[in-house]
Amino acid sequence: RTAVVLFTRDLRVHDHPALATSCAAFDRVAPLYVLDPALTRLSSNRTRFLHQSLADLRHALRRLGGDLVLRHGDPVAETVRLAGELGAEAVALSADVSRYAARRADRLRAECARHRLHLRFFPGLTVVEPGASTPNSGDHYRVFSPYHRAWSGQRWRDELAVPSRVVLPDGARVGRLPAVPGGESPEAAVGGETEARRRLDRWVPHLADYGDRHDDMAGDATSRLSPYLRFGCLSPLTVANRAGDRASPFVRQLCWRDFYYQVTAAFPDIARTAYRRGATEQWRYDDDAIADWTVGRTGVPIVDAGMRQLRAEGWLHNRARLITAGYLTKSLGLDWRTGLAVYSRWLLDGDVANNSGNWQWVAGTGNDTRPYRGFNPIRQAERYDPEGEYVRRWVPELAAVSGKAVHQPWRLPEALRRSLDYPPPSVARTVDPVWLR
């Protein structure tokens, strides 16, 4: 008896419910990945990370006696075709929440029914499955705190071991993995489960400091595990279990991730439409301002530092995300969807649920219970980069300015200001924010 396991955003062999269960229930298992051009054209950073992760997954499966079957094209058509070629009777995959994933699931259901294939969805992309707990008042949690309480008190599934053996069906053509393509960010992290587990091991001893240090932008004291969670090189359940204490500030962040997954499952239009009913959306149009923001030449150092880190690393610190996104939407009054698209092109961890959920939170159209909160980038900079170290790291034009003066170059003595190759704040052209006066 043979099954096809379709890999998607779960590129690992540890704690992989669809793989582990299929290996236990079937004599032969064909692990499949389908390179879908609809996804790989979105971001060259993520496509590079994906290829690295696939190469690593293939190694891991070969060590278990199996292999990774690689196909190009439409995942649904290729899955059903492979099942036909191998005489498989079942297809298994991890359940996902985006609109793309929901459509793929619907089409798989229809095609599997037509070909008399047994189709089964498994957990594995979140700690707690979307919809596993719901409030009395609706089909999903709209506010984080009650969700966090329910999530922490819930029974989590047991972590699963690596299958002892993967037996590939006879005659399965595995296909060649294309050469790893170039990415856009020179300092981007390397993909794959091996690297992910190494990073998790190195991160665990720092967990105790996370609560005090995670907002220190220069200290860079967060786990940087997000791209590995995005591609499923790590199981979020494994990460949460390794952290130990469910009440810890770090595990709370993993809960935010689950929170946005259950929001997206219930509201799949989250990347396009305001989530909050009655949210006012009156955005300006300003191509110059968007261009300055995208390349990190707004003239507001903490914003420019963030955007340059994004382009260099394909990743940026959470506080820098809040500041750059707050600046775009609340200071410049520009549409959150524009910022979401720029992030989506560069971010290794960019995904529909977390990217859209967080952008909407910042823009006041999402789950924030205080959608009209103000935004002052200078106060943020002085609080979370008090010595200006983060700014000087990413904006070398300001390296000669010491201490926190670096946050407001427009207030420097004129001679020094003129000597710097750094623009005045472009926001002054169109709006007049209080923090600039």
Residue of 242, 262, 261, 260 whose CA lies nearest to 251: 242
Stretch that binds ligand FAD, among 10-18, 156-164, 347-355, 376-384 (CB under 6 A): 347-355
Q: Which long-range contacts (CB under 8 A, 24 or more apart) does 242-247 make?
A: 242/200, 242/204, 243/204, 243/207, 244/207, 246/152, 247/152
CA dihedral 127, 48, 287, 408 (to 10 degrees): 70
Q: Give min distance, CB of 305 to ligand FAD, in A.
A: 15
- The single residue among 62, 224, 276, 393 that binds ligand FAD, judged by CB under 6 A, is 224
Is residue 349 close enough to count as binding ligand FAD by CB under 6 A? yes
> 73 phi and psi, to 5 degrees?
125, -145
Would you say 50 or 254 has its CB closer to ligand FAD?
Answer: 254
The yes or no reply on residue 298 touching ligand FAD (CB under 6 A) is no
Q: Does 398 bind ligand FAD (CB under 6 A)?
A: no
The answer to whether the CB of 181 falls within 8 A of the CB of 80 is: no
Minimum distance, C-beta of residue 118 to ligand FAD, in the bound complex (Å):
32
Count of residues touching ligand FAD (by CB under 6 A): 27
| Contact between 111 and ligand FAD per CB under 6 A | no
Residues 353-392 that bind ligand FAD (CB under 6 A): 354-355, 358-359, 362
Residue whose pair of structure tokens reads 């750059």 in the numeric block: 324
Alpha-carbon distances of 231 from 77, 124, 191, 193, 204, rounded to whole Å? 22, 11, 9, 9, 20
* Crossing angle between the packed helical segments 336-346 and 352-363, to the nearest 10 degrees: 150
Pick the closest to residue 230 from 71, 356, 49 (CA basis): 49
Among 40, 152, 154, 253, binds ligand FAD (CB under 6 A): 253
Minimum CB separation from ligand FAD for residue 428, in Å? 24
Least Cβ distance, residue 368 to ligand FAD (angstroms) = 11
Nearest-approach distance from CB 12 to ligand FAD, in angstroms? 15
> What are the two backbone dihedrals, phi and then psi, of residue 91, each rounded to the nearest 5 degrees?
-130, 135
Sole binder of ligand FAD in the list 142, 214, 392, 407 (CB under 6 A): 214
Output the CA torsion 294→298→301→307 (10° steps): 0
Annotated binding site for FAD: 210, 222-226, 250, 253-260, 349-351
At 6, which helix (H) or strand (E)?
Answer: strand 2-6
Determine which residue in the list 257, 297, 308, 392 makes contact with ligand FAD, applying CB under 6 A: 257
Q: Using the rule CB under 6 A, which residue among 347, 378, 381, 391 binds ligand FAD?
A: 347
246 sits near ligand FAD (criterion: CB under 6 A) = no
Q: Is 128 in the site for ligand FAD (CB under 6 A)?
A: no
Minimum distance, C-beta of residue 9 to ligand FAD, in the bound complex (Å): 11
Q: Choose between 22 and 358: whose C-beta lies nearer to ligand FAD.
A: 358
- Altogether, the residues listed in the chain come to a count of 437
Q: How far is the CB of 246 from ligand FAD (least distance, A)?
A: 14
**Which two three-digit tokens encode residue 107?**
């089409």
Residue 422 DSSP code: -
Nearer to ligand FAD, 214 or 297 (CB): 214
CB of 203 to ligand FAD, least distance (A): 8
Decide: 301 and 406 in contact? Cβ < 8 Å.
Answer: yes
Two structure tokens written together for 23: 């290996």
Least spacing, CB of residue 319 vs ligand FAD, in Å? 8
Per CB under 6 A, the list member of 8, 44, 185, 223 interacting with ligand FAD is 223
Q: Which residues lie closer than 8 Å to 74 by C-beta, 6 or more apart? A: 34, 36
Binding residues: 210, 222-226, 250, 253-260, 349-351
**Is residue 340 packed enough to be buried (19+ CB in 10 Å), middle (13-18) or exposed (0-12)?**
buried
DSSP H helical ranges for 223-286? 226-230, 236-243, 249-266
6, 18, 80, 254: residue in contact with ligand FAD (rule CB under 6 A): 254
Q: Which is nearer to ligand FAD, 199 or 297 (CB)?
A: 199
How crowded is residue 41: how many other Cβ atoms within 10 Å of its Cβ? 9
By CB under 6 A, tell whether 152 contacts ligand FAD: no
Give the binding site for ligand FAD (CB under 6 A): 214, 222-226, 229-230, 253-254, 256-257, 260, 318, 321-322, 325, 343, 347, 349-351, 354-355, 358-359, 362
